[in-house]
Amino acid sequence: MTIDVSSDRVFQATLGATVGAYAISLDAGTQPADTFIVVVLRLIQGTAGGRALLPASGITWANGYVPGINPAPGAVADIEYTSYDSGVSWTAVVIDIITAWPPGVVTSVGLSAPPEFATGAPVTGVGTLSLTALAQAAGKVWAGPTTGAAAAPGFRALVAADLAAALAAPPAIGTTTPAAAAFTTAAHGIGNANAPSVGVGYTNVGLFAPAASALGFAAGGQVGYVDAAKRWLLATTSVAAQTPIPNTAPRLQILGSDAGTSIFLARYASSPIQNPAIIQGKSSGAVGVHGAVTAGDTLGRNIVVGSDGTDWQNAAELRFTVEGTVAAGIVPGRINFYVTDSGGTQRLRLAVDSAGNLKMGGENIVVDANRALYLPSFTVAGLPTAAAVGAMAYVTDLGGGVGGPVCWDGAFWRRLKETGSQTITANANQTLTVLSQQPVIITGGTWTANRTYTLSTTRAYNGARFRIVHMVAGFTVTIGSKTLSQNQFAEFEYDGTTWNPIGAGSL
């Protein structure tokens, strides 16, 4: 039977029921391209074993299978056929007819990949092909060759040439585009201030290594460096950071010999509260954690040092401390001024406490918060042998214990007022001394004999005076050239050398 499929057609043919081979041929000359044919073989149940198609002589078919039908060997088509299913009924089945005939069997599927890039094995059965990148050493990149013609890529180390394209076009800064950064490898990239190992736009601007474990900054010459101790040193080419006082290691240092060795802060703002500030602080906690300070803690120090030819020595210091109890929102403070004396001892010379009192020489108040003036306190015997002219002091036992102020005239301590009296009742001779006794002396008590009063030149100054009033009956008192009976008085003045009588009389 010949079938023409040049147009959509359905053909049905009934083969004879006689046992034998039947052929269907296709007309190959009149068919359009991509024509396919579906052959439907309808099998009618027979009477001999239930099969209409019989196997070739000597071949036994498995239950449920029929021979394949190849309407056009080498072409792809579908075929629907019926199969006697499990000896019960005929069932329609669709199968694919492959292009190769007879069909082959796939036993292995492999994958080609660069050996550096993947691992794996062929799939010999049901499975999934997978790729796994191999481990590579640090610093490796997947790239082509570093030089020469194009070649297959591989894993290799990064080289300077890989960065050339990225550095060839530096970014614009404002209206200026500096030259590309320069990387040198000479002397391990140490460089110097005039030719830094890492240049930035110009040959003498960039970074270099002035010494081991140090990073230098160049800008037309060295402008500073950072050392291994994290100290920033400016305006110096030295790698020797300074330690001005024990227990310090300043992280920021400006070391130079010109006027630039200084710090200046200026803020330009119209608001009265906008101003430059230098802030010092202390917490008792870990870094970044608040921990309350306590009374006596030093919060900050401003120190002035000088070289003794060998090392730095502390000459003066402004020290800020905590004075009093610290509470939430309150840290009472105190300012202390220290200087080093000629013997090399640092001494507290001036302080302002949290109450507003100005103190000198330790805890001695000089002026309190109410502006009251406090004089240094002495006994007569404890007065300094000399002082600045006009210096004043308070003498606790002035005039026999009354107490009062005195002033140094350049040679002697003088009373601020030459008045005041005291009564001497002792039944004994007396020595009268300026400041130790009041300027007016009255005799009293019970005497058993005549007495002599001597005027001492100790602490006597030109113009110092004594007036003696004798009130004891029955006995006399002699002062120099004057002898007084009861109810008589005499007055004496010191001329710088001698006590002289300047007046006498009776009451």
Q: What is the pLDDT of residues 257-286, one digit of tens each?
A: 888 888 888 999 999 888 999 899 999 999
Look up residue 86 and give its two tokens: 């499990």
Distance CA 42, CA 37 (A): 16
Distance CA 168, CA 296 (A): 61
Do residues 493 and 468 make contact, with C-beta atoms less than 8 angstroms apart?
no
Look up residue 173 and give its two tokens: 């800064």
Q: Of 36, 9, 45, nearest to 96 (Cα)?
A: 36
Look up residue 271 and give its two tokens: 């608001």
Distance of CA 308 to the CA centre of its chain: 34
84: number of Cβ within 10 Å: 22
Distance CA 333, CA 323 (A): 5
Distance CA 141, CA 440 (A): 109
Alpha carbon distance, N-terminus to C-terminus of the chain: 183
Q: Please report which confidence band the pLDDT of residue 126 belongs to, taking 50, 70 and 90 as the band edges.
A: low
Distance CA 75, CA 37 (A): 10
Distance CA 380, CA 399 (A): 9
Name the strand (E) or helix (H) holding 233.
strand 232-234
Q: What is the pLDDT of residues 328-383, one digit of tens each?
A: 999 999 999 999 999 999 999 999 999 999 999 889 999 999 999 899 999 999 99
Do residues 468 and 490 make contact, with C-beta atoms less than 8 angstroms apart?
yes
Q: What is the pLDDT of residues 77-105, one digit of tens each?
A: 344 444 444 544 444 444 444 444 445 55
Look up residue 328 and give its two tokens: 């939430």
In the chain, the percentage of residues whose pLDDT exceeds 70 is 69
Look up residue 33 and give its two tokens: 């391209």
pLDDT higher at 76 or 310: 310
What's the confidence (pLDDT) of residue 387?
Answer: 93
Distance CA 406, CA 390 (A): 9
Look up residue 258 and give its two tokens: 């010109």
Distance CA 192, CA 208 (A): 6
pLDDT at residue 43 greater than cutoff 70: no
